[in-house]
Amino acid sequence: MSAGRIRLAAGVLAAGMLAAGCGGGSPSTGSTPAGGKITLTLNLFGNMGFKELYAKYEAAHPNIKIVERTSAYNDHHRNLAAHLATGSGTADIEAIDTGFVAQFRNQPQHFADLRQHGADQLKDRWLPWKWEASLAKSGAQIGYGTDVGGLAMCYRRDLFKKAGLPTDRDEVGKLWPDWTSYFETGKRYTAKKPEGAAFFDGGPQVFNAMIGQAETGYYDTQDNVVVATNPAVRSAYDEVLKAVADGQSAKLVGSSPAWNTGFAKSQFATIACPAWMLAKIQDQGKDFAGQWDVAAIPGGGGNWGGSYLTVPAQSKHLKEAVELITWLTAPEQQIEVFTKHGILPSTVATYDKPEVTGLKHEFFNDAPIGQIFTTAARNLKPQYQGPRAGDIQTAIRDSINRVEEGKQDGAEAWTQMLGDVERISK
């Protein structure tokens, strides 16, 4: 295998494991066992590509032992909020998704202010908007950015061929310069689709990609919730539900067991594809190496996801925890994470490195993922995230799911969702 080709490591996501988020019932803060070693704990909500790095760090720091725990996305953030409120139970290091970072940056008293540990000297590592998104109003910096979710569209070449569509990634990208064209392509695909293979995986996932491109999402910059009044939200919602009604959706809930099985059983031909999705596709669709490919996202640019590493004030080893997140988020380590896992760094210097820009992926038909995703990151227009953006996204996901399950029509689901959003926002 050439240096420009990689195989992504399998993603690890312990969905629904509340105990994992709580550390299996044991104290989550660091401990110093016999022999003088410091144990640093990390609570994450998925595979962030760090596991291979821990041994390297431990070798350079013989007094440090690193323990990583993962839990489901919503469980993780719910547990973190509870542990901060009660004053106990956090890990030494806690990951926070971009959809929740505004909620937690409003509680800077619960986190180490990284400015007190040299953060201001490091700020130029990151995309400016990535740095600013984790800044509290007081100026405290609560987290260091890991990845960004610059968007592309992953698709199955073999399923496209069977449906009479182009398979070359450049030609595929030309099929959908915008989302209207994407859904029109979906109609063409659906008319000749292979049996059991819908056009896309599920409505909420497509909606997330669409709203990630909007100038304004769920909040305005004064932290007012604008879901009910933002035409971009309603337009994306209606377009997705129209495509669902047209039979384009496999009606799978993202990150669910059924969604995982959908990859293995070829139940959909396209999926909105932030960089971190590559590991999931390879892990769940092992039998389809070379059949998956990566094309441009409709509309260009956009972001879905991306995370931060924070050090709660509860940490018993705060200094050592800050040193670890500083090292994990450094460009050198972020390059390794990208080349091994395809998780796109938010550190600007990495985008000019030939090992990043020249990276191709064998599993995805030698797609030039380095070029595709660094271009997406550079073109990304950041969207303001308000305090409960992650919870609002979940409410919208649930409403679209209710329509896909036949429990409500679009109007009913929209009305209930607005009520749910109003309660969340109080």
Provide the pLDDT for residue 19. Answer: 30
Backbone angles phi, psi at 205, to 5 degrees: -70, -40
Residue 307 near residue 146, CB atoms below 8 Å: yes
Give, to the nearest 10 degrees, the angle between helix 231-245 and helix 389-404: 30
CATH topology agreement for domains 5-148+306-360 and 151-304+366-425 = yes
3-state secondary structure of 1: coil
3-state secondary structure of 361: strand
What does the mean pLDDT of the chain come to? Answer: 90
pLDDT-derived band at 35 (thresholds 50, 70, 90) equals: low
CATH 3.40.190.10 is held by the domain 5-148+306-360: yes
Backbone angles phi, psi at 214, to 5 degrees: -75, 150
Count of alpha carbons within 13 angstroms of residue 59, beta-carbon side:
5
Provide the pLDDT for residue 150. Answer: 84
Residue 139 near residue 123, CB atoms below 8 Å: no
Instruction: Identify the CA nearest to 320 among candidates 112, 172, 68, 162.
Output: 112
Provide the pLDDT for residue 304. Answer: 85
List the chain domain ranges: 5-148+306-360, 151-304+366-425
pLDDT-derived band at 222 (thresholds 50, 70, 90) equals: very high
The better pLDDT of the pair 26, 314 is held by: 314
What pLDDT, in 10s, does the model give residues 137-166?
999 999 999 999 889 999 999 999 999 999
Q: Does this model's pTM top 0.85?
A: no
What pLDDT, in 10s, does the model give residues 321-335?
999 999 999 999 999
- Report, as an integer, the average pLDDT of 164-186: 97
The better pLDDT of the pair 248, 74 is held by: 248
Contacts of 165 (CB under 8 A, 6+ apart): 172, 175, 185, 188, 189
CATH 3.40.190.10 is held by the domain 151-304+366-425: yes
Number of other CB atoms surrounding residue 247 within 10 Å = 14
